[in-house]
Structure 1
Amino acid sequence: MQIAVIGAGAVGCYYGAKLLRAGHDVTLVGRQAHVDAINARGLHFESAEFTGFVPARATTDVASLTPPDLVLFAVKSGDTDSTAATLKPVLKADTIVLSLQNGVDNPQRLRAILSQPVIAAAVYVAAEMPGAGHIKHNGRGELIIGASPQSEALAKLMSDAGVPTAIADDIDAVQWSKLINNCAYNALSAVAGIAYGEMFKVDGVPDIVTNAVTECLAVARACGVSLPADLLDKTLGLAASMPFQQSSTSQDLARGQPSEIDFLNGFIVRKGAEHGIPTPTNHALQVMVKLVERSGSRRS
């Protein structure tokens, strides 16, 4: 199968590497430094099951792609619209676009631009890019995708490549649950440059997480989204299951890249304002990250 990974960062490179190792024809589209490293020596894939270089093809130019059968769309939320517009002329009528992005509104934004099938996904992988063309897998890796006529075949393809993939009838609830996890953890991890396990050793962090989640749940209810009753407990327990993981927002700030905070806590703040729901904790977390972005104090 001809597959394009649009946004070859930690998430895109992890799933791209899994598909490459399963024998698929994968092209990675990413930043120049990563592209140069991958084309020179392959994708450096580091995980518990395999460490080595995976032969791969990479480019910075979406327009140069052979029309793919499947797109793994993994760009940052702020780049969704512009990247989709660039991608549109390259796609076949039946190309499947799988959104592997944070937040909850990217699939809708993609569907407004593309006529191809767009499938939403919730991504559960701990991964990072320690250097150019180097993906390090720290744990998990499963996907939950939305129901569609193409979803069973897609789930089989991903599962056969070693990516546990389930289909959810209510993908909105799944994505909102993931969004709430991100709202609880990403900003705190990012501002301190600290992993989840160490973060929870600081007095007051569980209280901040609880307040952020409580606000998110109120906003979700106002938006008509039904979420599990134990979501707060599960969110508080996430640090124990991923103690060494830093958030994607933390990784963005360390690399001097714009974060997605406006599409995480900022999304909750906007939706809260629409529905008259106060979201002071999420607003404070959003502003904290924006301050660190402005100062550049986390840049490596």
Structure 2
Amino acid sequence: MKVAIVGAGAIGAYVGAALHRAGADVHLIARGPHLAAMRQHGVRVHSPRGDWTARVHATDRPADVGPVDHVFLGLKAHSYAACGPLVEPLMHEETSVIAAQNGIPWWYFHRHGGPHDGQRLESVDPGGSVSAVLAPKRAIGCVVYAATELEGPGVVRHLEGTRFSIGEPDRSRSARCTEFSDAMVAGGLKCPVEPELRDDIWIKLLGNISFNPISALTRATMLQMCRHRSTRQVIELMMRETLAVAHALGCRPDISVERRLAGAERVGEHRTSTLQDLEKGKPLELDVLLAAVVELADITGVEVPTLRTVDAISDLLARGVAA
């Protein structure tokens, strides 16, 4: 099995190192000092499960890699429309794209079934620009429950979790999903193939849609947001509105608002990825987290006043960062 990791940052390099350990033919696509360090020393993983190093091929030239069986995307969702030059040399007719993104993916209604089958979401696929580069038929969904960070160039700190749930948009258990799952498991990770992966998407989104924008607006940690009574109430409203949209689309995420809040509080003084991006002056990945759910609310007729308010304010913040 030949795999290219496009955007081999903290998550991508961790996955690539695990697949390499399983015997897959892995190629990391990266750049800058991080690329140089991986070329010289390999991917060095520091983890509570034990430290290890994987001598994985790393390059900034996808054309030197050629067509692969699976492309694992570690890029932020707002980079997808422009990633054509990175992914096109890696594609053959059957190449799959496994996108490790938060939020609502561009393929959400591909082979969905029901009244919205095939519908495009403008917030995540503006003008079809993402689908033009990453054809929905190639997509395998992926929900990441692992937490990692780059401790330095070429050095991945694995904090917790090893689960990467994957699934086909049409809910089938395909050979390509099984192949990728088996390799991930052989590399020491959990990779269940979930027929109803959209339920997992909503479970993960329940926290991202609320804590991420609120943290960027307030500069607060998870613990601070959970323990500030009024902010906690706003987050609870956002979560309940999100669940209402999920239910209107036929999904039944198996988690309660109370359980999600309790889990977030246990995380402690953690700064969300959106807050970290804000502090670094990077674009904020809020369209797929928040704007997409507001668009889905419009499609389904669900009232989401709290989500609309936070979306309007956080969009102004995001535009200021991008300016």
TM-score by length of 2: 0.80
In structure 2, stretches of 5+ residues that fail to align are: 111-124, 168-172
Q: Which residue in 1 is equivalent to 2:17?
A: 17
1:168 to 194, 204, 214: 194
1:31 and 1:278 mapped to 2: Cα distance?
A: 44
Deviations 1:250-280 (A, max 9, x none): 2322332112101111111222234443433
Paired AA for residue 307 in structure 2: N
Structure 1 residues 115 and 293: alpha-carbon distance in aligned structure 2, compared to 1, 3 A threshold:
closer
2:140 to 107, 119, 126: 119
Identity %: 28
2:290 to 265, 268, 271: 265
1:241 and 1:21 mapped to 2: Cα distance?
A: 32
Moved more, 164-173 or 238-247: 238-247
Q: Which residue in 1 is equivalent to 2:159?
A: 138
Whether the 8 Å CA contact 2:238–2:306 is kept in 1: the answer is yes
Q: Which residue in 2 is equivalent to 1:236?
A: 261
Q: Which has the higher strand share?
A: 1
1:177 to 198, 203, 212: 203
1:154 to 173, 180, 190: 180
Moved more, 132-141 or 45-54: 45-54
Residues 207-218 of structure 1 mapped to structure 2, 5 A cutoff: 207-218=233-244
How many Å apart are 1:244 and its aligned residue? 4.8
1:256 and 1:31 mapped to 2: Cα distance?
A: 19
Paired AA for residue 32 in structure 2: Q
For the aligned residues, what is the CA RMSD? 2.8
How many Å apart are 1:6 and its aligned residue? 1.0
Paired AA for residue 142 in structure 1: R
1:199 matched to 2:225: yes
2:267 and 2:160 mapped to 1: Cα distance?
A: 8
Whether the 8 Å CA contact 1:268–1:279 is kept in 2: the answer is no
How many Å apart are 1:197 and its aligned residue? 2.9
1:246 matched to 2:267: no
Moved more, 143-152 or 112-121: 112-121
Q: Which residue in 1 is equivalent to 2:121?
A: none
Deviations 1:123-145 (A, max 9, x none): 11112223333321111120211
Paired AA for residue 183 in structure 1: I
Paired AA for residue 54 in structure 1: A
Paired AA for residue 233 in structure 2: D
How many Å apart are 1:115 and its aligned residue? 7.9
How many Å apart are 1:174 and its aligned residue? 1.8
1:54 and 1:89 mapped to 2: Cα distance?
A: 24
Paired AA for residue 256 in structure 2: L
1:207 and 1:87 mapped to 2: Cα distance?
A: 43
Q: Which residue in 1 is equivalent to 2:116?
A: none
**2:163 counterpart SS class:** strand
Q: Which residue in 2 is equivalent to 1:28?
A: 28
Whether the 8 Å CA contact 1:84–1:114 is kept in 2: the answer is no
Q: Which residue in 2 is equivalent to 1:42?
A: 42
1:81 matched to 2:81: yes
1:138 and 1:189 mapped to 2: Cα distance?
A: 20
TM-score by length of 1: 0.85
Whether the 8 Å CA contact 2:20–2:56 is kept in 1: the answer is yes
How many Å apart are 1:41 and its aligned residue? 2.8
2:152 and 2:318 mapped to 1: Cα distance?
A: 21
Structure 1 residues 12 and 132: alpha-carbon distance in aligned structure 2, compared to 1, 3 A threshold:
same
**1:101 counterpart SS class:** coil
Paired AA for residue 279 in structure 1: V
In structure 1, stretches of 5+ residues that fail to align are: none
2:286 and 2:240 mapped to 1: Cα distance?
A: 18
How many Å apart are 1:282 and its aligned residue? 2.3
Whether the 8 Å CA contact 1:97–1:116 is kept in 2: the answer is no
How many Å apart are 1:246 and its aligned residue? 3.0
Moved more, 17-26 or 168-177: 17-26
Structure 1 residues 249 and 103: alpha-carbon distance in aligned structure 2, compared to 1, 3 A threshold:
same
